[in-house]
Structure 1
């Protein structure tokens, strides 16, 4: 695998290192040793898939608060998505900054999303599927979200939103939740 760290410390774009022959190619898409060598959490607690019927479908911006904060390894297995992550670590120099990465069935690129980041994506084609491995179990009492169109975040989605869940539409603006967000996303104090 080829690991490229983004401007957001700990967030990586992971490309396949393909071994090609007349049959096609073979590549490793996950390895605990390689993840650990890059300082990434090599734990998969759950594996999820999502199918998006219509291009323009938007999912996000989702996260879980500590102690149930999730790392994610996201890959598009059919179609194409624009994946966006936002740094929610209050102590980070890139707090509230984001990156966007196009993932599609051809490039097979993955995005590693560290804990304490918001994550969302928009389907760029009809019948788009994603797969993600998550480093923590889903905890409904720890989940949170940001508005996909919050002006403070300045996220640029390439298509008009065609489909979005009522839950995602109901996320409150950052100005209303930021104090609580910072408090809950702060790293735990070291034990004495």
Structure 2
């Protein structure tokens, strides 16, 4: 695997290193030893799937506040998406900044998103399936979020959403979004 840091501390693009032969290819998608050796210890305890039949589906910006914070490894296993990580760690030098990567089944790329960083995505193709590996396990009742188009964060989405949940569309502006 290849780990490429982004402009946000702890947010890392993870590319696979497939072994190819006449049969096709085989690659590790996650290995605790390789992540630790690269300085990003991560051992997922839960795997989830998000199915998104419509182009332009926006999910996010979600996070779990302390002490329920999650680290996520996110990848598209079908289709293509614009994946966003937004730093909400108050003590971080990149508080309020975001980074994004295009994840697709074709590029097999993943984004590692640490605790305290909100996550969201916009599907760029219909029938986009997103695989989440999470640690620790999701704790229902402790969900939080910020609005996808909070002007204080100014995330440059490639398009307006065609489909978004009422909850995600109705998140208020983050109280400190204008402080960064």
TM-score normalized with structure 2 length: 0.94
Secondary structure, in 3 states, of the residue corresponding to 2:176? Answer: helix
* Runs of 5+ unmatched residues, structure 2: none
The CA distance in 1 between the partners of 2:114 and 2:39, in whole Å, is: 10
Is the helix fraction higher in 1 or 2? 1
Structure-2 separation of matches of 1:152 and 1:25: 43
How much does 1:173 deviate?
A: 0.8
Check the 8 A contact 1:10/1:39 in 2, yes or no.
Answer: no
Contact 1:41/1:71 (<8 A) preserved: no
What is the SS of the residue equivalent to 2:62?
A: strand
Q: What is the TM-score normalised by the length of structure 1?
A: 0.88
Instruction: Give the corresponding residue for 2:2.
Output: 2
Task: Deviation per CA, 1:54-95: give whole Å up to 9, x if none.
Answer: 110000000001111000000000110000001111111111
Aligned length in residues: 177
Distance 1:141 1:178 in 2: 23
Q: Any unmatched runs of 5+ in structure 1?
A: 180-192
Superposition RMSD in Å? 1.3
- What is the CA deviation profile of residues 113-143 of structure 1, one whole-angstrom value per residue up to 9, with x for unaligned ones? 0111000000000111110101122223322
Aligned to 2:176: 178
Q: Work out which of the two has the higher radius of gyration on C-alpha atoms and give 1 or 2.
A: 1
Query: Is the counterpart of residue 80 in structure 1 residue 84 in structure 2?
Result: no
Q: Does structure 2 retain, via aligned residues, the 8 Å contact 1:63–1:117? A: yes
